Amino acid sequence: MLFPLIIGIFFFHVAANTFNDYFDWKSGRDIKNLDYVLFSTGGSRAIDLGFISEKKIYFLSVFCFLVVLLCGMYITYIRGPIILYIGLFSAFVVYFYSAPPIHFASRYGAGEIFHIICLGPLIVIGSKFTLLGYFDILDFFVGLPFGLLITSCLLINEYPDSKYDKQSKKYNLAVLLGSKYIYVLFTIFVFFSYFVIIFSVIYYNLSVYYCLVFLTLPYFVKTFYFVFNLKNNRSFVLTSCIRSFNLYLYFSFFMIFAAIIKILY
């Protein structure tokens, strides 16, 4: 079951990002936006830079969705309809995150909320059910920090595009908050990620090894300095994007390392 799970998750991510590129191009935002930070924020701008045509990236997205569908059908056959429900919900969110007429990314924070859910608890619950055939409430809390931290990255990524997103009526959280308050929500997301670990250790008997994530706190403090000063220096935007991803990476590493230690000892 591990192989179709990995393949399905991989192609789901590719589909999500290529659909996002396609619909950002179709909306005209990529053409107008001159303030992007290339290779450090979400969106490859592959069409804009001439790496692939509009038609080809759409067919790539559809192909990835079909691969996910095949993997999902196989897992559903083995594990039952719960995986089907999770997959259908995820597919709906992935497509309409960027696609009209719903376009969750423009719906006053709805996109970020689904980002937290789908890339956090839902992917952990779905993966555990695929591999073991069951899940519990603790899986929700283990998955939540992943969703919060990757969405904190998204929040920083949205900042360079916020001027043109606002013009095109893409009302994401960066547009709604503005540079003055982005750092506040970023900090809330990160601190809540640490809080969830402590809460789970105390109330749900999560292994104390998961507290290793607190070794990332000094890195977060330095990252906060750059995020707090986003509006003052463009180089801080690039640094904030990179450091927010690194924080997610380091936090995730310690989560995985803690899980391995728990299994071995």
Q: Is the dihedral of CA 247, 249, 252, 254 positive or negative?
A: negative
Is this prediction's pTM over 0.95? no
- Per residue in 129-165, pLDDT (tens digit) is 999 999 999 999 999 999 999 999 999 888 877 777 7
User: Which pLDDT value is given to residue 36?
Assistant: 58
What percent of the chain shows pLDDT beyond 70?
A: 92
- Per residue in 196-221, pLDDT (tens digit) is 999 999 999 999 999 999 999 999 99
Q: Which of 103, 192, 112 is nearest to 158 (CA)?
A: 112
Cα–Cα dist 156/183, whole Å? 9
